[in-house]
Amino acid sequence: MKDNIVEFWQAVCGKDRKGMEKYLSPRVEIFWPNTKETFSREQFIHVNCDYPGDWEGKVLRVESVDTENDSAGIKRYVSVSRVWNDEASFHAVSFFEFLGGKIIRLEEFWGDDGEVPEWRK
């Protein structure tokens, strides 16, 4: 499943609609709590493919989240990724739920990369 997450992120950064569709369940629920946005599969693909600029990305870490007695067969993972271009850089922490190899729920927290504020130096 870790390879699936890496490939999914490659599709997101590459604005690859078919690549994203491959991993997203038709009924996936996607949440960006930072901006209080909720997306359907189609909305999420639209937002990522139409986001301005060309982007690069790298998955820095993927961890399985053990769940006891998950009779539904849901597999949970957390990833930490860096996404950047010449103008901006971000880190994202993503919580995935997979069922049958498809993402059924995704919650992402995005943070801007930047300099240390003066008051903390």
Query: What would the pLDDT profile of 83-97 be if each residue is shown by its tens digit?
Result: 999 999 999 999 999
Closest Cα to residue 29, out of 51, 44, 50?
A: 44
Domains in the chain (CATH in brackets) are 2-120 (3.10.450.50)
Where is pLDDT greater, at 72 or 34?
34
Band (pLDDT 50/70/90 cuts) for residue 69 is: low
Band (pLDDT 50/70/90 cuts) for residue 68 is: low
Q: For the whole model, what pTM was predicted? A: 0.91
Query: What would the pLDDT profile of 38-66 be if each residue is shown by its tens digit?
Result: 999 999 999 999 999 999 999 999 999 97
Q: Please give the C-alpha separations between residue 77 and each of 6, 15, 64, 93, in angstroms, as whole numbers.
A: 12, 22, 4, 11
